Structure 1
């Protein structure tokens, strides 16, 4: 009996106009243009990093051709290459830096 009563109450609620789903404007979706530049504190967006030196670099140590390529990828913000955080990337191909 309780289940029947609950089902009927839920049915009435679902059919009422107050239960309608309404869309809300997405504040992140707009055509507004920023009037000022925005500084992003992230290695991939650092000045000097990026550009043509960072495009097309491998992302893992196993894909690196040499130690210099690994060092460049680290400068471009790929901090995963330096697991022990000693500043030396891909220690298998850059022993001691």
Structure 2
């Protein structure tokens, strides 16, 4: 008799629960769009690939500005919006 009751209860819960798993069931999933060049889709991300990481390797101020736009904030030490001030004096 106990087995019959247990089987009935388990089958009731099995039928009442949603058996499909969706992405909203994942607490680590976030569908928000990330507006950052490193995560850009298509041509935007390709502009960031291969850029030098430090000011000493930059060949122009424009290259330094592009690297800053791509998220390399270490190029702007004083955070005034001008990267690599040795090659981009005053912007």
Q: Tell whether the structures are fold-level matches, with TM greater than 0.5.
A: yes
Which structure is higher in helix share? 2
> Structure 1 pair 33/63, CA: closer, same or farther in 2 (3 Å)?
farther
Could you say which residue in structure 2 is the equivalent of 1:56? 50
RMSD: 3.2
Aligned length: 66
TM-score normalised by the chain length of structure 2: 0.57
Alignment gaps of 5+ in structure 2: 1-20, 25-29
Cα 1:72–1:41 change in 2 (3 A) is closer
User: Structure 2 CA distance, aligned partners of 1:82 and 1:70?
Assistant: 9
Contact preservation (8 Å) 1:50, 1:76: no
Q: CA deviation at 1:79?
A: 0.0
- TM-score under structure 1 normalisation? 0.54
